Amino acid sequence: MCHALLYSPGFLSMLLHIDQEFAQQARELGCPCSGALHRSDYPRKPRDCPAAVRAQHCTRLSFCCAVCRRRVTPQSVRFLARRVYLALTVVLVSARPAGPSPAAAALGAALGVTRHTLARWRQWWVQRFPGTGLWRVACAQFMPPLAQASLPGALIERFGDSAQALMRLLHWLSPISVAGSSAAASVTLPDAA
């Protein structure tokens, strides 16, 4: 089951590798003022990260320009904006069926996700995510259309629940990990969409 990926150090290490590639691309693009970019990572304390890989996921990769001091933060498959849980957790736990099912209760308890937090995540998926540039650009490309009320579960169904499919989904969601990102214009959907 895809929830096993939440505890997979190998899968989480692959996500870190993707974030490092995003960071390298951002560094190569440089700052608009042509100044040199220096590493200036944000400290993070991901609540759901297994102890074996926690040290690798305690920073959000970022840069600061030596000239204008502008911050350049690349996209991320590990973090959705400023959330303290890993993106994989936010997607998978939010996709659990609503209600007090034993599986949802066990997963939430294991990860320390309170009912209040889960309700906030579900509200974000249904009310705020549809207003993002990513969704506005891509929603019309899903055929048949996805029901907004069933996000993110509908996205997981469309992309698939294998490790490779979830990695593609997190990659697809990565533009929303950066405020004001214009990367939403280049979204690509899974082959099954």
Q: Which of 98-107, 165-174, 178-187 bottoms out in mean pLDDT, i.e. has the lowest?
A: 178-187
Torsion sign across C-alpha atoms 17, 173, 40, 26: positive
Per-residue confidence (pLDDT) for residue 193, from 0 to 100: 40
**pTM, 2 dp:** 0.85
Q: Shortest CA distance to 86 belongs to which of 57, 53, 115?
A: 57
Instruction: List, in sequence order, every beta strand (DSSP E) within 33-181.
Output: 37-39, 42-43, 59-60, 63-65, 71-72
3-state secondary structure of 100: coil
Residues 51-94 pLDDT 10s: 788 888 899 999 999 999 999 999 999 998 888 889 998 898 88
25: pLDDT strictly greater than 90: yes
Can you tell me the distance from the alpha carbon of 42 to that of 22, in angstroms, rounded to the nearest whole number? 15
Quote the CA–CA distance of 111 and 59 in Å, as a whole number.
20
